[in-house]
Amino acid sequence: MKRILITLLLAAAAVAAVVLWRGWPHLFPSSDTDDLYRRYEHNDYIRATHLKDFQVNDTLAADALLLEATTDSAWCELLGDFGVSNELINMYKTDKESLVGEGLSSITKLFRDKNDIRKFAPLTAPESRVVIASHSKKSLCIFMTENENQKEAICLNEVQKLKKQFENEEKH
């Protein structure tokens, strides 16, 4: 009886170790996303998701953080947190349909300083992060890469994906 109990405990420990090992990136996001993730993880109106090795294209994968607002007010708050102009936020509040319904105009590319998300940082700066905002989906995707070529590829690729998505939605 004692042997069976020890065997079961060892088997349970092995299963727990495998589950923890496989789920580690989801349970404990990388340090680059830690602060932002923690800032929004318990917000009832903003869903924060860490995307480990998000596949941008056939050759490029990057860590990213996806922030999705569930309400218009949470979306406006999120835009404000990322230093989006009051003019654009007010445009969303007053005439959301024209901003959201115009395909690529519903996408905003931002370049933000990784140490202060309200501040602009040029694409060429290692501390800059590419942030792609989709007003129609009320989401921000922050890509965690310091390489300028990767940032350019992300901008081109993600906007192309969203453009195709809008074209497909317009056809249906």
* Interval 43-54 mean pLDDT: 90
- For position 171, what pLDDT does the model report? 63
User: What residues have CB less than 8 Å from 57, skipping those under 6 apart?
Assistant: 153, 157
- For position 92, what pLDDT does the model report? 85
Residue extents of the structural domains in the chain: 29-171
- For position 45, what pLDDT does the model report? 96
Instruction: Give the confidence band of 20 by pLDDT, cuts at 50, 70, 90.
Output: low
Which of helix, strand or coil describes residue 130? strand
- For position 123, what pLDDT does the model report? 87
Residue 136 has pLDDT above 70, yes or no: yes
* Interval 134-157 mean pLDDT: 87
Encoded tokens for 4? 């069976």
Spatial distance between the Cα atoms of 57 and 131, rounded to a whole number of angstroms: 17
